[in-house]
């Protein structure tokens, strides 16, 4: 058994769906008023579930996770940074070289952290 789905809890799944559709450049697999989903060629799936859905229950709050995108070159880090800025994506951390490699952090409409990273070999 292997994990294959990440769910982000969002205030407006349709707004978040449009954001990620623009970011990924792909169509969602499902769009409902309280849930949207994307699937990727590597087997990972991303769900966007409304915190206002009738069947949503959570005792937590805040954004304690990151959705990470590992890239293969420093050029890709810089290109994604420029592209996301042009899309109007909020940047929380500009590109820097951290102990683990070149990276930057953006935010989705609900403040979920999106990290692009080129790991050091």
Annotated binding site: 34-35, 49
Place of tokens 């792909």: 26
Tokens of 15: 């707004």
Query: Number of helices and strands (H, E) in the chain?
Result: 2, 8
Contact 112, 63 (CB under 8 A): yes
Annotated binding site for D-alanylgriseoluteate: 34-35, 49
Which helix (H) or strand (E) segment is 44 a member of? Answer: none
């Amino acid at each position: 058994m292997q994990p294959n789905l990440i769910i982000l809890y969002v205030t407006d799944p349709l707004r978040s769906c449009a954001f990620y559709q623009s970011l990924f450049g792909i169509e969602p697999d499902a769009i409902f008023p309280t849930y949207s989903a994307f699937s990727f060629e590597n087997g990972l799936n991303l769900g966007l579930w409304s915190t206002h859905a009738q069947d949503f229950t959570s005792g937590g709050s805040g954004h304690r996770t990151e959705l990470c995108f590992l890239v293969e070159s420093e050029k890709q880090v810089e290109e994604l940074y420029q592209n996301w800025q042009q899309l109007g994506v909020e940047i929380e951390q500009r590109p820097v070289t951290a102990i683990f490699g070149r990276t930057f952090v953006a935010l989705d409409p609900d403040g979920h952290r999106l990290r692009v990273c080129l790991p050091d070999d």
